[in-house]
Structure 1
Amino acid sequence: MRIVIAGASGLIGTHMSATFRDAGHVVVSLVRREPASATEVRWNPAAGELDPKALAGADAVVNLSGAGIGDRPWTRRRIDELFSSRVDSTRTLTRAMRQLDSPPPVFISQSGSGYYGDAGNTVLRENAPKGAGTLARICGEWEAAAATAPPGVRVVVPRTAVVLSRSGGALGRLLPLIRLGVGGPLGNGRQYWPWITLPDVSAAFLFLLESPLSGPVNLCAPEDADVNALVAALAKALHRPAGLRVPAPVLRLVMRDLADELLLASQRMEPALLSSAGFTWQHPTLAHAAQWVAGRE
């Protein structure tokens, strides 16, 4: 397959591109700079600029574009950037597809678990309603933009959970503290964090390229876990203590709205569609995932 990827330079995109190539697929990356090879095509999503020819003949388009949610404080300007970096890039891709006589038959456009807002202990399958808050609004507009793909294109919007990796990503700041033995749960730790390992994210996208699934798909491991369990499992795999809890008021003082939406919100997601479609996880349990993160698998 010839797969065009937007957002290929990030943590997920880099790993996914390698996974696709290892599976024998040709990967073309959309870049904002001058192309460095024949497998790169320049675009400017902020200005809506993409030559439709870049997508001609592609078997699938994968959209991972988006500024990092927790990289910077949520000023009004940053929130605008979080919206525009996702919605504008998605609309640029669908607009280019609509200009083709034969658009790519598959469009996989990233979304996130933030779609569900703070849902407490409610089990969230793909038909659960959209929640409240900034992240829910971002994901809602992101998914709506993906739905503007041409008729006949199979559109998949993976609502991706917290991605566990060995460096960077959602655990980029927490994991080094746990390695040093000075990490711990956030808030009361009873909020559910849906999670999935980086290899399973790439494997799931590879699976979605050829499966008949469409629409929202919860991309998370089949075993749910609250923050207490997640931190404890990582600490155990790293042979470190993890008793230094950070109270919610401290998190709110330091991170403001970002704390409530990114760290203290609870989403008990269930990968109902992936499970029923027969996807096999490399790391289906938290114990497996923690061992992989620790490099002990």
Structure 2
Amino acid sequence: MKILITGATGLIGSNLIPFLRPNEIAVYTRNVAMAEQILGHKIHFLSSLEHLKDLNDYQVVINFAGEPIVGKKWTTQQKHEIESSRWSITEKIVALIKASENPPELLISGSAVGYYGRQSDNIIDESFTNTFDDFGHQLCERWEYLAKKAESLQTRVCIVRTGVVLSKRGGALTKMLTPFKLGLGGVMGRGDQYFSWIHLEDMLKGLVHLITNKDCHGIYNFTAPHPVTNYQYSHELAKALRRPCLFKIPEKLLRAAMGESADLVLYGQRVVPKRLLESGYEFVFPDISQALDCLRK
């Protein structure tokens, strides 16, 4: 089977490739030299999609390309970059699928739990429709809309609304570890906002599950079954590291440092993976204490 991946140098893509072997892997990247350093040489690299007329040669396309949402303040220019980096590549992928006489059997396209917008403590599964119309929702809504256009009798589309991926190989957790290891970590804002997370291993095995189970299609929340509040998460992380959790980081300080993007940590969603569980996937790390204890080692 031939698989095309966009966004393969990120945390999810780079760790997914070993799970997809021995299938033949092709990667679309704007920086082939950097991608070769990260991923190795036993991959077919595409520096452009413009020369492709269709995707007849591929059975699966995994689309996770996009400018990181965290790390920079959400200026007007940065918001545009976040949006266009996702929307434009998704439009190109869908156009190539539609131009194919023998299109891919599956498109897995990224999204995020940010689709739901800021929420309180409502339990949110894939049927939830009372979304909050903020930047995260607007970003994901169009991203998903574009991906759904690829769906046909020949191509099933799975859209993955991902929570915070926990891994010691990168991502959000590695940014949090240093202050917590120093005993300086703490609760963000009020602390009652929900934190929907998933261990990297479940993220990767869940994606393989979507590929191998041909009945899977539509929206899937990729979060662990038991979301926690920021207060619970912070104290569990401190406990796993055998450090105290004494501090509380006020909203004003987070706003000063992060601007509007502070919404990502000040608000949350209590998201559960109902459809993934119903499809037969069994989580390796359903509970936060188990996941953090594993990641500490």
* TM-score, normalised relative to structure 2: 0.92
> Considering only aligned residues, what root-mean-square deviation do their CA atoms show, in Å?
1.6
Alignment of 1:54-69 (within 5 A): 55-69=55-69
Alignment of 1:266-285 (within 5 A): 266-285=268-287
Residue 223 to residue 252, structure 1, CA distance change in 2 (3 Å): same
Corresponding position: 1:229 with 2:249: no
Partner of residue 123, structure 1? 123
Residue 76 to residue 163, structure 1, CA distance change in 2 (3 Å): same
Q: Distance in 1 between matches of 2:141 and 2:124?
A: 16
Q: Which amino acid aligns with 1:31?
A: T
Q: Contact 1:204–1:279 (CA<8 Å) still a contact in 2?
A: yes
Shift of 1:151: 2.0
Partner of residue 96, structure 1? 96
Runs of 4+ in 1 over 4 A off after TM superposition: 34-38
Q: Contact 2:151–2:157 (CA<8 Å) still a contact in 1?
A: no
Q: Contact 1:192–1:226 (CA<8 Å) still a contact in 2?
A: yes
Q: Distance in 1 between matches of 2:117 and 2:133?
A: 5
Q: Distance in 2 between matches of 1:136 and 1:17?
A: 29
Shift of 1:100: 1.0
Structure 1 SS opposite 2:184 = coil
Q: Which amino acid aligns with 1:154?
A: R
Q: Which amino acid aligns with 2:202?
A: D
Q: Distance in 1 between matches of 2:18 and 2:53?
A: 25
Deviation string, structure 1 residues 1-47 (Cα, Å, up to 9, x no partner): 321111111111111112222xx3322211223576573232447xx
Q: Distance in 2 between matches of 1:112 and 1:50?
A: 30
Q: Which amino acid aligns with 2:43?
A: T
Partner of residue 26, structure 2? 28
Partner of residue 13, structure 2? 13
Q: Distance in 2 between matches of 1:180 and 1:94?
A: 47
Q: Distance in 2 between matches of 1:231 and 1:167?
A: 19
Residue 176 to residue 279, structure 1, CA distance change in 2 (3 Å): same
Partner of residue 42, structure 1? 46
Alignment of 1:159-170 (within 5 A): 159-170=161-172
Q: Contact 1:97–1:150 (CA<8 Å) still a contact in 2?
A: no
Partner of residue 145, structure 1? 146
Partner of residue 207, structure 1? 209
Which residues of structure 1 form unaligned runs of 5+? Answer: none
Q: Distance in 2 between matches of 1:220 and 1:285?
A: 11
Deviation string, structure 1 residues 199-218 (Cα, Å, up to 9, x no partner): 11011000011221211100
What is the count of residue pairs matched by the alignment?
288
Partner of residue 261, structure 2? 258
Q: Contact 1:111–1:159 (CA<8 Å) still a contact in 2?
A: yes
Shift of 1:161: 0.4
Q: Which amino acid aligns with 1:209?
A: I
Q: Distance in 2 between matches of 1:289 and 1:172?
A: 14
Q: Contact 1:217–1:271 (CA<8 Å) still a contact in 2?
A: yes
Q: Distance in 2 between matches of 1:33 and 1:10?
A: 13
Shift of 1:96: 1.1
Deviation string, structure 1 residues 69-109 (Cα, Å, up to 9, x no partner): 01211111000000001011111111111111011010000
Which residues of structure 2 form unaligned runs of 5+? Answer: none
* Residue from 261, 273, 293 that aligns with 2:295: 293
Q: Contact 2:236–2:288 (CA<8 Å) still a contact in 1?
A: yes
Q: Contact 1:8–1:14 (CA<8 Å) still a contact in 2?
A: yes
Shift of 1:131: 2.5
Shift of 1:198: 0.8
Q: Distance in 1 between matches of 2:31 and 2:255?
A: 37
Shift of 1:150: 5.0
Q: Distance in 1 between matches of 2:253 and 2:117?
A: 21
* TM-score, normalised relative to structure 1: 0.92
